[in-house]
Amino acid sequence: MSTQPPPPPPSQPPGGTPFSGGTGPTENVDAAGFFRALFDFSFNTFITPKVVKVVYVIAAILIPLLWIIFTIAALSQSAGYGLSVLVFGAIGVIFYLAIVRMTLEFYLAIVRMSQDIHHRLPSR
């Protein structure tokens, strides 16, 4: 019987496996790259990974700010109405932030899958 060496382990895709903590294909996030992607009419560059953090920061600032404004307006109407907006509004802020976060993660996951599929396709 002849013994052959075991086959080499399969190579890891760029960014690692989904369970290894890899983030998948990455792109440079610079100002020139952002505007180049924004005006890429052939849609060869994705802009979603570049703007998803900014959109979430804006939502994380605006949603609580609107809650504070609505609470102040409700307190000027009546104390009971103001307290109810204060309590239930906090639940609404958490709910809407979660919805915004999940939606942005969904969009980013779709773009990352597309990038990964594109990188795995044979060159034309």
In a domain, residue 12? The reply is: no
pLDDT at 19: 36
What confidence tier does 34 reach under pLDDT thresholds 50, 70, 90?
A: confident
- Is residue 43 in some structural domain? no
Q: Residue 112: which residues within 8 A CB-CB, separation 6 or more?
A: 23, 24, 25, 49
Could you tell me which of 52, 45, 92 has the C-alpha nearest to residue 68? 92
Assign 123 a pLDDT band (cuts: 50, 70, 90): confident
In percent, the amount of the chain with pLDDT more than 90 equals: 51
* Residue numbers of the domain that contains 93: 49-120
75: in domain: yes
Structure tokens at 91: 């639940």
State how many domains the chain has: 1
Whether residue 114 is predicted with pLDDT greater than 50 in this model: the reply is yes
Q: Is the Cβ–Cβ distance between 97 and 63 less than 8 Å?
A: yes
